[in-house]
Chains A and B, each alone.
Chain A
């Protein structure tokens, strides 16, 4: 308990850093993920290729490698951005590949007749996807997207090694200052639990409200 009370501001800063990373990266991942899922089912071949390449590259690359590529590679080409932005980009793009696949699997649960009906009414591809297919797809992908965002929360710990303030790296400061590693970790775990259980509860409520009962 002493570890927490004596270092409350350090833990607070770390917790807040992880919250920010999670929220911004989640928004980026959800946005890009849904767009990429749209690309993957688009009637235009070039868009399908972009969507497939995006998912193939990002889903099959270790996240740490992505961080290294962004933080050490990009500056060599003259791109220098704040560390937090690099971290949000790396985390958001990486997770967007998983969101994309979850959304695409949701799209596949929507009966073909729905899309055909929309098109026979004269709806464009955008209208079909936005007004008919995605709203139905969304209902079946709430649980997998929740899991993906929980994974994102925990993955954000990697950013701590790249000059971003986040929860896990507080243990390094605490250990250096002579605190017991075990108790430092216990409070860090509690911090992550608060975040992940909040996400779980949120998605559970969404599922109760909108999920498909089969």
Chain B
């Protein structure tokens, strides 16, 4: 073998490096054009304040008692759902409709939303475990009440009725619902109920599954998929962030009653939360919370659902 001359390999590496840098620049330019418009969403300054019920006491609830001794509530939320529960990576603050519900519930339980809540981001797959192990006091995060979950955790609510719908590009004219998706690509989260529903009820649609809806939305903006589907609350959150490029279409084709997850045996806490939900719906706090979060998508506030007393019996 010959001894290599000192320079040429470096030159090749430099050229490769330049090509790579150019490719990266192109990539980010494409992002700027389509993927990441100026951030919109709930503005921290405009969020409503909730009156704290300082005289509240619930000694019959073990969860409430230990939270009182601790001096704060530990609340489970989502961190990746704009409009519902989203964590700002720069400031670490959580915003969204679910977060507002969590705050008003804390206020009704006698805890100051500003100082006495510790948020814990818990992904869907870990919700039941977190409640069973007492890692969180209650969970507010697009948590659909269903039979399987009722065996594992307790529920208060429902505080909102969501439904599965489609998120499409603004210029889309033909797609109105899942029946129009034959041969088209539709994206949702791996293993989620919305994905399973599309696969079983609309097998002619081509299902694509990623870990997060953010990747689905990115693919939608880049024409890799034709629609994103899940609960309309999550879709409205994305539409509210980028109203110039995205819209939610069609009628809801499922019914998802959202509840507040509580430890299964703590009926007293679930009942107290039920009362708090009803009170907040009556005094307008519920509607105010909707308007500063999901309402930004342009969809007017629906009528709040009635809490289901059968859940806490």
Contacts and interface: CB of A to CB of B under 8 A. Distances in A.
B311 interface: no
Contacts of B129: 181
Contact of A173 (B12, B191, B215, B218): B191
A162 interface: yes
A175 B124 contact: yes
Q: Is the interface of A mostly helix, strand, loop or mixed?
A: helix
B222 A43 contact: no
B9 A49 contact: yes
Contact of A80 (B12, B152, B190, B224): B224
B210 A163 contact: yes
B211 interface: yes
A161 B216 CA distance: 11
B2 interface: yes
Q: Is the interface of B mostly helix, strand, loop or mixed?
A: helix
Given A76-B30, A172-B192, A175-B124, A45 B148 contact: no
A76 B24 CA distance: 11
B234 to A, nearest CB: 15
A171 B211 CA distance: 12
B60 interface: no
Interface string B10-40: 0011001000000000110010000000000
Interface string A71-89: 0110111001001000000
B2 A176 contact: no
B272 to A, nearest CB: 26
A175 B125 contact: yes
A214 B27 CA distance: 52
A53 B17 CA distance: 11
Interface in A127-164: 160-163
Contacts, number: 76
Contacts of B218: 72
Interface in A156-214: 160-163, 169-178, 181
Contact of A75 (B151, B190, B222): B222
Interface residues on B, range: 35 or more
Contacts of A43: 1-2
B193 A176 contact: yes
Interface in B187-232: 189-193, 196, 208-211, 215, 218-219, 222, 224
Interface residues on A, range: 20 to 34
Contacts of A72: 215, 218-219
Interface string B106-150: 000000000000000000111011000000000000000011110
Contact of A176 (B8, B191, B219): B191
A43 B192 CA distance: 54
Contacts of B284: none
Nearest to B129: A181
Contacts of B4: 45, 48
A162 B1 contact: no
Residue of B208, B209, B218 most packed against chain A (CB within 10 A)? B209
Contacts of A175: 124-125, 191
16 contacts: A45-B5, A45-B9, A46-B12, A49-B13, A53-B13, A53-B16, A73-B27, A75-B222, A77-B26, A169-B191, A172-B190, A173-B190, A173-B191, A175-B124, A177-B148, A178-B146
Interface of A: 43, 45-46, 48-49, 52-53, 72-73, 75-77, 80, 83, 160-163, 169-178, 181
